[in-house]
Structure 1
Amino acid sequence: MFDLGRSFIASVARDPDAIAIVDGDLRLSYRQWYGKISSLVEAFDRIGLKPGDHLVTALQNRWEAATIHWACQFAGIVITPVNWRVKADELDFCIENSESCAVAYQDVSAEAVAQSKLAQSLRRISLDGDADASVANKTFSFSSMIAAEAADALPRVSAEAWSIMLYTSGTTSKPKGVPRRHRTERAAAVAHLAQNLYGRGERTLGVMPLYHTMGVRSLLAMSLIGGTFVCLPRYDPRQALQLIAAEKISNLYLVPTLYHDLVYHADFAGSDVSSVRKLGFAGASMTDGLLKKLDQAFRPELFVNHYGSSEVYTFAIDQNAVAKPGSAGRAGINQHIRVVELNAGSVSDVAATDEEGEIIAHLSSDEAFEGYWRRPEADAKALREGWYFTGDTGFMDRDGDLFVTGRVDDMIITGGENVSPVEVESCLSLHDAVGEVAVVGLPDERWGKIVVAFVKRSAQVTERELEQFCQASGLANFKRPRRFVFVDALPKSPVGKLLRRLLVTGDYEPESAPPGAA
């Protein structure tokens, strides 16, 4: 199988003049970009980086970040991207854990690098502030590194080499490193093309971060079909709408939160989004209300619900998400999945049809990782009998379609009954006055936990009206919220994932004034 460097060379040969990347006024063809990448590979040699080294990056989705990603693939360096909002202590953890030899940063992450104890001993690559960059203090400017022309770079490693190490979000413990090989990365990109029906010359909005599996997949997938990766360094719905129109974006692959902010933005009605023919979402469940809104707004040819993870890129795919709201469809082309009983002792303890259990995936998948980086206790919990225990809950319906209902840790047990937050959220999302909603279980002396709905209102509505709406919808009595809390915003991660744990601990923004209040 091709390593990723060889894969890129093949793309250059196939489509040398196609526009590969756009970032503001900068536009590079595949041939031009290959030249920049080759210069950077040679610069890596000059500063002493070698195959197998880890390079931590704390960068937004700029063309320089994408160039570093590709240069690492050629040089055999394991790119180790982290959130550009990283704090100094978090950066120190990742540097120490990965044994990184260098760090790349920009203006928004410069302070964290400066305050990081371990970064000071590393080679540092600065995308901004070239005047401060010097070899003497181990700081190198990106612009200087790519200034000199170089011979075309050739791959230094095989498809078996490590390509990237992503860090999972740490909720109750330190983030876990997920190392992935060139072959698994390319297999995931090929599957992404097939499952989203991408054709030659697609143009995608490169806004999902390159420290996130969705962002990396968009970058790699476009390279395989002579496609264009249009950089949006930091998500802004107005700017996203402008880029969609100006660059004739043909597909969007976003988390539900970004779709929500896009389609409900004041500029959406007056924006030209007619070039977008394919929608894909992942990272979280999408409510029924948002599904319908997007379908009406875009009228896409294809609307894909992609269910996956950093560890195993694809679990399941539904290529007609609107037809069966909530369904994640069937296993992807590289996957074998099943639902086992909660707290199953063996992978053979398969849950019955419509019975909620834990979703597991086979580790022989071409897209699967092989274990966490230096976390044997995490491996022992998640990797069993050749299967990956996802920690996600769900069930298979009578048609054989998978429904993802949440996380094992998010399940609400109230009065001995299991309640899935996602089911309650989907119900409430259909109310016209509900802009966003999140459901959690809060402690209760009698019930153990009670179902509580946190609602961001888009129009006036009372708790009583929402209670009546849930009752009229047919939601079982024990699943209906016993409390409603109105909020100005729901706590989310930088990539738009809902952070339920912050609602449980009270770390949220209560509603300052009802909608329409003077």
Structure 2
Amino acid sequence: MRVPLITTDFLDRASFAFGATTATIDEPDQPAKPVDTTTYAEMATRVRAWQAGFDALGIGEGERVAVVSHNSARMLELLHALPGSGRICVPVNFRLRPDEVKFIVEHSGASALFVDPELSLDDVTARHRFTLGEESESLLRFDVEPRPWSAPSEDATATINYTSGTTARPKGVQLTHRNIWLNAVTFAMHTRAWEGDVYMHVLPMFHCNGWGMPFGLAGLGVPQVVLRKVDGTEILRRVRDHGVTLMCGAPAVWNAVLDAAAEWDGEIPGRDRVRIVCAGAPPPSRTIQRVTEELGWEFLQIYGLTETAPLLTFNRAQPGPSGEEKAKKQSRAGAPALGAQLRISDTGEVLARSNVVMEGYWENPESTADAIEDGWFRTGDGGYFDDDGYLTISDRKKDVIITGGENVSSIEVEDCLFSHPAVAEVAVIGVPHEKWGETIKALVVTSAEVTEAELIKHCKERLAGYKAPTSIEFRDSIPRTATGKIQKFKLREPYWAGRDRGVN
């Protein structure tokens, strides 16, 4: 017997086995009226009402619906409602500039667009456009049952997640129901998720569908607390008030919590109870050691990409006394996750085979062919395996910088700087940063007088804020090979000297 693995399985089980259990506790401090705290039975009812509303709008199976929002209960519901009815959800990074969001909405061919009320996206349109909150609530139809998905298929595209890559334009990663289903189950297994957990959405839900946590944890009936904006003190408060046991996030999030803990009055909440999952970039081993010693929280490291749904490796601390050496081992990407096959190419690139690898890039067969070669996905990261089989990411072969958990295309930043009339030559690289993991540095050759502040301002006016350089270094020339190529790894070397790898 072969039954398709589709995302509805998770909420269906939750409403059946955990109908009376709290499902979502929405962010109370938001511009829209929060969704009332719901049980899983009530959440399933609301999801069906969303689907019936899409039926009434005439949005059919296979059509795309874009959602640009901070974390919210409504976004969580749409992650279930859209794929679960054969439609495709397009979660969009709310930190992007309006022109970038417009490109994604148009490139995906979205029939409908949902926008957080705090965002200024007046020029971004679709056939149907709703502001999340009172306006979007009018769409929900509780009086009729939605049309069932005519032919559920695990190979159907469930979401398209746009990611910054080595080009100026983002690429749409097509994740299938099978990708999402298997990632959700293996992620939950590796994090030891169970019915007694309480999860807090610290990680933005647009990041690869919250790394699959909205699905896997629903299947286990886990209450899900929604955090709209990262704040270290607020994270500690909600860990205390809601009994949170599990969270995911980038290194910068846990640095914010450590800073807040230094000012926290009383015992740190969640000691010996909370597990945190870190990805985006491995933090310094000192940060890991501080999390375990100062907060008393268990630190879990993973590695993956949007193109892999995302889980490829998992790293949990091995038994033994804590300390610097133990923390250093935890900063590695980890051992292959269940079902993931990894190897290192002749050029040192990490290659992956797994059921969580994407179907391809939306309407971009050339990039798909470049990324998946002979049945292996090219991660664009350089790495090596230790003697115990654990993967360490040592370099980034793609022109991508990861700062605060966000991917930034160095080529996009270079293009922006080139648009300034005083810039004759530029190379953008990632350099180590204690808080953000990496930060963006531009090496610039000028043809006219210009200041560092002017160039940074130029970028901030044209790019999302997190993509702008934090420093400019003026040079007389930028070294190139005999064929005219810039070797970024050589430009990065002085800034990463004394470290055992060239990424942070």
Same fold per superposition (TM over 0.5): yes
Q: In the alignment, what sits opposite 2:139? A: 145
RMSD: 3.1
Aligned pair partner of 1:232 in 220, 227, 232: 227
Assess, with a 3 A threshold, how the Cα gap between structure 1 residues 24 and 234 changes in structure 2: closer, same or farther.
closer
Cα deviation per residue 1:218-256 (whole Å; 9 max; x = unaligned)? 211211111011001121222222111111001121111
Q: In the alignment, what sits opposite 1:115? A: 123
CA distance in 2, matches of 1:243, 1:441: 36
Which residues in structure 2 correspond to 1:344-493 (within 5 Å)? 357-362=348-353, 365-409=354-398, 438=438
Q: In the alignment, what sits opposite 2:406? A: none
Residue 305 (structure 1) aligned with residue 301 (structure 2):
yes
Residue 197 (structure 1) aligned with residue 164 (structure 2):
no
Cα deviation for residue 309 of structure 1 reads 0.8
Which residues in structure 2 correspond to 1:264-303 (within 5 Å)? 264-265=259-260, 266-268=262-264, 270=266, 271-274=268-271, 276-300=273-297, 302-303=298-299
Please say if residues 255 and 284 of structure 1, whose CA atoms lie closer than 8 Å, have aligned partners that are also in contact. Answer: yes
Supply the AA of the counterpart residue of 1:11. A
Aligned pair partner of 1:315 in 301, 304, 312: 312
Cα deviation for residue 201 of structure 1 reads 3.2
Q: In the alignment, what sits opposite 1:41? A: 51
Assess, with a 3 A threshold, how the Cα gap between structure 1 residues 437 and 249 changes in structure 2: closer, same or farther.
closer
Residue 169 (structure 1) aligned with residue 164 (structure 2):
yes
Q: In the alignment, what sits opposite 2:76? A: 66
Please say if residues 381 and 397 of structure 2, whose CA atoms lie closer than 8 Å, have aligned partners that are also in contact. Answer: yes
CA distance in 2, matches of 1:165, 1:122: 18
CA distance in 1, matches of 2:158, 2:288: 35
Please say if residues 250 and 275 of structure 1, whose CA atoms lie closer than 8 Å, have aligned partners that are also in contact. Answer: no
Please say if residues 85 and 108 of structure 1, whose CA atoms lie closer than 8 Å, have aligned partners that are also in contact. Answer: no
Cα deviation per residue 1:459-478 (whole Å; 9 max; x = unaligned)? xxxxxxxxxxxxxxxxxxxx
CA distance in 2, matches of 1:502, 1:166: 25
Supply the AA of the counterpart residue of 1:188. N
Cα deviation for residue 359 of structure 1 reads 0.7
Please say if residues 162 and 182 of structure 1, whose CA atoms lie closer than 8 Å, have aligned partners that are also in contact. Answer: yes
Cα deviation per residue 1:374-402 (whole Å; 9 max; x = unaligned)? 22332232211110111111111222221
Cα deviation for residue 188 of structure 1 reads 0.3
Please say if residues 441 and 473 of structure 2, whose CA atoms lie closer than 8 Å, have aligned partners that are also in contact. Answer: no
Q: In the alignment, what sits opposite 2:331? A: 326
Q: In the alignment, what sits opposite 2:174? A: 179
Cα deviation for residue 150 of structure 1 reads 3.8
Q: In the alignment, what sits opposite 1:263? A: 258
Cα deviation for residue 18 of structure 1 reads 1.1
Cα deviation for residue 282 of structure 1 reads 0.9
Partner of 1:264: helix, strand, or coil? helix
Partner of 1:145: helix, strand, or coil? coil
Q: How many percent of aligned residue pairs carry the same amino acid? A: 22
Please say if residues 19 and 40 of structure 2, whose CA atoms lie closer than 8 Å, have aligned partners that are also in contact. Answer: yes
Cα deviation for residue 440 of structure 1 reads 7.9
Assess, with a 3 A threshold, how the Cα gap between structure 1 residues 437 and 147 changes in structure 2: closer, same or farther.
closer
Which residues in structure 2 correspond to 1:48-127 (within 5 Å)? 48-109=58-119, 111-112=120-121, 114-116=122-124, 119=125, 121-127=126-132
Supply the AA of the counterpart residue of 1:6. D
Assess, with a 3 A threshold, how the Cα gap between structure 1 residues 43 and 250 changes in structure 2: closer, same or farther.
same
Q: In the alignment, what sits opposite 1:8? A: 11
Assess, with a 3 A threshold, how the Cα gap between structure 1 residues 153 and 4 changes in structure 2: closer, same or farther.
farther
Query: Structure 2 length normalisation: TM-score?
Result: 0.74
CA distance in 1, matches of 2:110, 2:255: 37
Cα deviation for residue 267 of structure 1 reads 4.0
CA distance in 1, matches of 2:255, 2:378: 30
Supply the AA of the counterpart residue of 1:22. I
Cα deviation for residue 217 of structure 1 reads 1.4
Assess, with a 3 A threshold, how the Cα gap between structure 1 residues 267 and 46 changes in structure 2: closer, same or farther.
farther
Supply the AA of the counterpart residue of 1:310. T
CA distance in 1, matches of 2:99, 2:400: 31
CA distance in 2, matches of 1:306, 1:46: 41
Cα deviation for residue 184 of structure 1 reads 1.0
Supply the AA of the counterpart residue of 1:179. Q
Assess, with a 3 A threshold, how the Cα gap between structure 1 residues 394 and 284 changes in structure 2: closer, same or farther.
same
CA distance in 2, matches of 1:149, 1:77: 21
CA distance in 1, matches of 2:209, 2:53: 28
CA distance in 2, matches of 1:196, 1:68: 25
Cα deviation for residue 154 of structure 1 reads 4.7
Please say if residues 207 and 215 of structure 1, whose CA atoms lie closer than 8 Å, have aligned partners that are also in contact. Answer: no
Cα deviation per residue 1:470-513 (whole Å; 9 max; x = unaligned)? xxxxxxxxxxxxxxxxxxxxx9xx999x86x8357569xxxxxx
Number of equivalent positions: 409
Please say if residues 74 and 153 of structure 1, whose CA atoms lie closer than 8 Å, have aligned partners that are also in contact. Answer: no
CA distance in 2, matches of 1:306, 1:263: 20
CA distance in 1, matches of 2:362, 2:83: 19
Please say if residues 6 and 155 of structure 1, whose CA atoms lie closer than 8 Å, have aligned partners that are also in contact. Answer: no
Cα deviation per residue 1:409-459 (whole Å; 9 max; x = unaligned)? 4699xxxxxxxx99x95xxx9xxxx666648887699xxxxxxxxxxxxxx
Assess, with a 3 A threshold, how the Cα gap between structure 1 residues 409 and 68 changes in structure 2: closer, same or farther.
closer
Query: Structure 1 length normalisation: TM-score?
Result: 0.72
Q: In the alignment, what sits opposite 2:218? A: 223
Gaps in structure 2 of 5+ consecutive residues: 29-35, 318-325, 402-428, 446-459, 475-504
Assess, with a 3 A threshold, how the Cα gap between structure 1 residues 153 and 275 changes in structure 2: closer, same or farther.
farther
Assess, with a 3 A threshold, how the Cα gap between structure 1 residues 161 and 43 changes in structure 2: closer, same or farther.
same
Assess, with a 3 A threshold, how the Cα gap between structure 1 residues 152 and 250 changes in structure 2: closer, same or farther.
farther
